[in-house]
Structure 1
Amino acid sequence: MDTGTHVVMGLALGGLATLDPAVAPHTATASSVMIGTIIGSQIPDIDTVLKLRNNAVYIRNHRGITHSVPAVLLWPLLITGIIFFFNPDANLLHLWLWTQFAVFLHVFVDIFNAYGTQALRPFSCKWVALGVINTFDPFIFGIHVAGLVVWIMGAPPGYTFLVVYGILIFYYLLRFSEKRQVVKAVKQIVPDATQIVVAPTMKFHHWKIAVMNENEFFVGRAQGTTVRILDKFKRVPVPDTPVINAAKKDTNISAFLSFSPVYRWEVKEFDDYYEVRFIDLRYRSNGHYPFVAVAHLDPDLNVINSYTGWIFSEEKLRKKLAILPN
């Protein structure tokens, strides 16, 4: 989920914790738990700072080790230890329990996005992405904000957020049901599909679709169970050529390939360089595919420059490639 949603979820968990008889009557514990749930709801995304280095490092590592099984267990211990050092009057066990819940919930809800997480590391590096909730979901954010407003107005926070999370469980079940119907509709159009990627948008009934069979890629949108195929591409295996193999060794290209499950490729030869481009088909926006990886190679197949990330115009991509060092 986005940062704002994780913030309001941390506050909501602090309110929910007032139902705990070890928290509510104890001011030191209640204040410590609130701090713990807020920090715990944010700490797995500390790897966002990797974006300051470059997109390749960010794409390869974001929601990786910081969302792994060891991290989910270690973050609460670290946060609890620091908070308890400054507030030793707090109930240590319950501070840890609620902080642990906050960290776990952060990683758990991220699994429902199309981006997903490597939550099973170190047992598996597979990306777990259920693709039923958009990274920012207006309903989820809005109902948390509504709960906070009701709390401010004097309602008991524990029962308020118990109701909120009861509604959200029902909401998630609805999203799963709708996605199942979309997948069923896609299979009627492409009955021989070998892979179907259905990604949510901010609109409840709107979904992005990327499908492949043995011979073609299909890209489309769904509104409810009405599926429209907007683009088709021939599915051509990535060739085993010196140019492609040299490009794959580049950090930007390899990061893209480690992350993207559905993509097509292009190779163009110019007078004094080659251009290798990989295009993710999941993120079609206004007829454009913004998530790409591009590398330029000289005639000796040395990478001159490269880039991976979200680019919404060819002009901006050219500028990125012009200023990036080898």
Structure 2
Amino acid sequence: MDPLTHAVTGATIGQSLTHKPLSRGLLLWLALVGMAPDLDYVLLFISDVAYLKFHRGITHSLLMLPLWCWLFHWLTPNRLSRQLRHLSPIIALVLLSHIILDLTTSFGTMIWSPLSGQRLSWDLLFIIDPLFTACLLLPLLLGLKLKRFRHHCALVGLALGTLYIGLAAVQHQQAIELARTEQPDALEHAALPLPFSPFHWRLIAVQPESIQHAAIDLRPECMDLSSMFPVNLIRRLGAQVDTTGDLHWHSLIRLINKQPIPEQSALAFYLWFARFPVLLDKEPDYVEYGDLRFGAGVPGSRAPFRLRISRRGVHSQAWLIWSDQRITPLPLN
């Protein structure tokens, strides 16, 4: 999730666990603790590849959680720690909330790092979800104005956030069942959250040589949230969806490794990182792949985290493409 959501969640959890109104200084500190696991963004200063390899790794690990809890308890200023008798468990819950919220997205979180590099994801929320953030933020802001009711406002925020995730989980299961009904012979089915609504999903059906995908709106007819966000922004992020009765499936060639490749090669790295890798473009001098998790294959979109392999004569080169202005060379072999 985005840093703002993690910060608001950290402050909300802290205030919900005590009837005593916490000072704004302590709420700010808990908000910073809520964002702290994303300190691994510093990996971007090393390289883009290092970031993708290790982001949401050791700082998001359940195995390392006791260490991070001790560290942030030790770093807490005395004037703040005196406000709470049981600060360590609260810090632990705030850090745990960060891990759980990241698990609800599709990026993947290595909760067993450093023992395992497996990325787990629940595919419930888009990585930036203004509606979910509002469920937590608005009660928190109200609590800052109404000091006597700060604890109750925090409880309301947690309740709203939990209900929102519950709604997303129900819609997610419904989307997967629809994918199974529409594509019964697929090897794997998935439903990825789309922006701005818990009712918008990208259905995935993995076939032996291809990946089928479709965008669905499961929203009841009485609800319309589209007017809350700019139409151009929604289209740019790929949230062009069909209704259940008018579902259009699109097919993309699946990137499959059929031969042994060096572990350090660009292709091996991309196959490890990409969950639904597909062929986006094939020209005489290059091929380009993308990951459906990040909008690859959506008409008109320029998805991040693409892999381009160029072949010109005897010379070959691979690049990791974040955007047209941000391209990182990778070792091909």
Alpha carbons of structure 1 residues 4 and 190: separation in structure 2 relative to 1, 3 Å: same
**Any gaps of 5 or more consecutive residues in structure 2?**
219-242
**What is the distance in 2 between the residues matched to 1:104 and 1:54?**
27
Q: Which residue of 1 aligns with 2:8?
A: 8
Alpha carbons of structure 1 residues 92 and 4: separation in structure 2 relative to 1, 3 Å: closer
Shift of 1:146: 1.1
Q: Which residue of 2 aligns with 1:150?
A: 142
Higher-Rg member (1/2): 1
**What is the distance in 1 between the residues matched to 2:255 and 2:15?**
54
The normalised TM-score by structure 1 is 0.80
Structure 1 residues 261-305: Cα deviation after superposition (integer angstroms, max 9, x where no partner): 2113489685xxx6353322332443446231123356556x54x
**1:228 equivalenced with 2:247 (yes/no):** yes
Alpha carbons of structure 1 residues 12 and 131: separation in structure 2 relative to 1, 3 Å: same
- Check whether the contact 1:113–1:131 (CA below 8 A) recurs between aligned residues: yes
**Partner AA of 2:292 in structure 1:** L
**Partner AA of 1:278 in structure 2:** Y
RCO comparison, higher one (Cα < 8 Å, 6+): 1
Alpha carbons of structure 1 residues 240 and 73: separation in structure 2 relative to 1, 3 Å: same
Shift of 1:48: 1.1
Q: Which residue of 2 aligns with 1:264?
A: 278
How many residues in Structure 1 have an aligned counterpart in Structure 2?
301
**What is the distance in 1 between the residues matched to 2:159 and 2:81?**
33
Alignment of 1:117-156 (within 5 A): 117-154=109-146, 155-156=148-149
Alignment of 1:1-326 (within 5 A): 1-19=1-19, 24=20, 33-84=26-77, 86-87=78-79, 90=82, 94-154=86-146, 155-201=148-194, 202-224=196-218, 226=244, 228-235=247-254, 237-240=256-259, 245=261, 249-250=264-265, 252-265=266-279, 275-282=286-293, 283-284=295-296, 285-288=298-301, 290=303, 291-296=305-310, 299-300=313-314, 303-304=316-317, 306-311=318-323, 316=324, 320=327
Shift of 1:200: 0.7
**What is the distance in 2 between the residues matched to 1:169 and 1:182?**
20
- Check whether the contact 1:218–1:229 (CA below 8 A) recurs between aligned residues: no
Alpha carbons of structure 1 residues 309 and 196: separation in structure 2 relative to 1, 3 Å: farther
- Check whether the contact 1:118–1:125 (CA below 8 A) recurs between aligned residues: yes
**Partner AA of 2:299 in structure 1:** N
Identity of matched residues, %: 21
Shift of 1:210: 2.5
**What is the distance in 1 between the residues matched to 2:256 and 2:80?**
61
**What is the distance in 1 between the residues matched to 2:40 and 2:292?**
26
Shift of 1:116: 2.6
The more displaced of 97-106 and 153-162 is: 153-162
Q: Which residue of 1 aligns with 2:234?
A: none
SS in 2 for 1:7: helix
**What is the distance in 2 between the residues matched to 1:325 and 1:196?**
31
- Check whether the contact 1:80–1:92 (CA below 8 A) recurs between aligned residues: no
SS in 1 for 2:176: helix
Root mean square deviation of aligned Cα: 3.1
Alpha carbons of structure 1 residues 296 and 162: separation in structure 2 relative to 1, 3 Å: same
**What is the distance in 2 between the residues matched to 1:123 and 1:239?**
27
Shift of 1:122: 4.0
- Check whether the contact 1:32–1:90 (CA below 8 A) recurs between aligned residues: no
The more displaced of 106-115 and 252-261 is: 252-261
The normalised TM-score by structure 2 is 0.78
